[in-house]
Amino acid sequence: LPAGLEFVECGGNVTGTKSVVDGKEVVTWNIDYLNNGTMVSLWVVVKVMTNDTFTNIASVNSTENKTTYLVVY
């Protein structure tokens, strides 16, 4: 999470965790396995601490050699 945002909570169909990586807050969800056609909902709540513009960045890492879709709302 960028400076100016305070982590409040995260959740979804699987448990998320917040950690600090290279001095920055990172929210991670580990999804062990998804059956074909299965969806998972994930969310994070933050408190805005400053007036600024923030960019939402999300990524998916997979060990499978298959198409991965990511939809961010």
Residue 7's H or E segment, with its range, is strand 5-12
Chain segment 37-71, per-residue pLDDT in tens = 788 888 889 999 999 998 887 777 777 766 555 66
Rounded mean pLDDT of the chain? 81
Tell me what pLDDT residue 55 has: 84
Centre a 10 Å sphere on the Cβ of residue 62 and count the other Cβ atoms it contains: 10
Three-state SS for 49? Answer: coil
Classify each residue of 41-50 as buried b or exposed e, where b means 16 or more C-beta atoms within 10 Å of its C-beta. Answer: eeebebeeee
